[in-house]
Amino acid sequence: MEHVLTALKAMGHSERLRIVALLSYGELTISELVKILGLSQPRVTQYMKSLEDARVIERVKEGSWVFSRINRSDRVLFKLVSTVLAQLPPEDAVLMADRRRLEDVRAARAFAADNFFTQVANDDGQLGDEYLPREDLDLRVHRLIGEGRYEFMVDLGTGTGRMLELLAGQVERGAGVDNSAEMLKVARHKLAARNFGHLSVRLGDLTATPFASGVADLVTVHQVLHYLDDPGEAIREAGRILRNDGKALLVDFAAHSQEDFREKYAHRRLGFNDQDITQWAAENHMQVTNIETITTHDSKPNVKLWLCEKKAV
């Protein structure tokens, strides 16, 4: 009971509660919280320390960046935090102002990422061949999903449609979703050139697709998670649209310390560890059934493949 009281005490302060409310929308750095809250960095750091000590939030260090997020590992505390947040009036003036400034921070991130994708849309190699072991990756993708056929594949964050191309021969229908119109122009051109009439792409938010729940038997999320404010949202959407016993294949970098990837490639996250992916999958009724690692050379980050299966709820 003591840890519950400690958590309640930590949240029983207006500024600390504002921090918790903001982190409920996704991970943030201290510098981002300083911008949103309009408080000094030492004060925000002090508030964060109190919340961390109470296990309300946790810190994730990636290279020189540190992200803070709601602690989901303790189910009792997470439920307590969720209950407290649910009681906050959405029309509260302070909270509404915080949300507006949060959107400004996210918009700035998105602008930087959009500029990057516009620049490289017509240079597929800049997104893949430059640092991805493409041939080995393709072989492992095929091996993990097996030789069977799939009725409906959804590729979240499809980019130039590479996963759709790769798996075209194993799916009855395939659809890709991406929020970059420039990337989709390239994808449509490539798919049309190869007469892939059963494949399509559309502009949209990969974390809130128009597809019905349980409609897909294969979902791919290829080299997308590291661009997102909240990677868990993409995995949540994959779990939602996946049918029971369906497969989701997540491909991304293993956790690494290549700081230049943030500026050079607009990466938000420096890869992922198995624990984070496994937890996000479990929260969305999926089980990681296979993990493979591709070891790269020349000090490039390793690439990981996580195969997940949807469990009946």
> Of the ranges 160-164, 188-192, 201-205, 293-297, which one carries the lowest mean pLDDT score?
188-192
What is the pLDDT at residue 131?
Answer: 56
What would the two tokens of residue 264 be? 């050079």
Neighbours of 6 (CB within 10 A): 16
Which residues touch 215 (CB under 8 Å, ≥6 apart)? 152, 154, 241, 243
User: 268 pLDDT exceeds 90?
Assistant: no
Domain boundaries defined on the chain: 2-113, 124-310
> Of 1.10.150.170, 3.40.50.2000, 1.10.10.10, 3.90.550.10, which CATH number belongs to 2-113?
1.10.10.10
Contact 112, 137 (CB under 8 A): no
Q: HSE of 69 in the Cβ direction (CA atoms, 13 Å)?
A: 15
Task: Specify the long-range contacts of residues 123-126, CB closer than 8 Å, at least 24 apart.
Answer: 124/160, 124/162, 124/186
What is the pLDDT at residue 109?
Answer: 67
In the block, which residue shows the tokens 């420096």? 270
> Of the ranges 55-59, 99-103, 126-130, 228-232, which one carries the lowest mean pLDDT score?
126-130
User: 212 pLDDT exceeds 60?
Assistant: yes
What is the pLDDT at residue 189?
Answer: 75
**2-113 against 124-310: fold identical:** no
What is the pLDDT at residue 220?
Answer: 98
Contact 312, 287 (CB under 8 A): no
What is the pLDDT at residue 218?
Answer: 98
Range list of β-strands (E), the chain: 28-29, 57-62, 65-70, 150-156, 171-178, 199-203, 216-222, 242-253, 286-294, 303-310
Facing residues of 248 across strands?
219, 308
Nearest residue to 182 (alpha-carbon basis) of 267, 131, 128, 113: 113
Residue that wins the pLDDT comparison between 201 and 290: 290
Give the pLDDT confidence of 120-149 residue by residue, as tens digits: 555 554 444 455 677 889 999 999 999 999
The one-letter amino acid code at 200 reads: S
User: 311 pLDDT exceeds 60?
Assistant: yes
Q: How confident is the model at residue 214 (pLDDT cuts 50, 70, 90)?
A: very high
What is the pLDDT at residue 60?
Answer: 75
Give the pLDDT confidence of 50-75 residue by residue, as tens digits: 999 999 998 877 566 777 888 877 88
> Of 3.40.630.30, 3.40.120.10, 3.40.50.150, 3.40.50.1110, which CATH number belongs to 124-310?
3.40.50.150
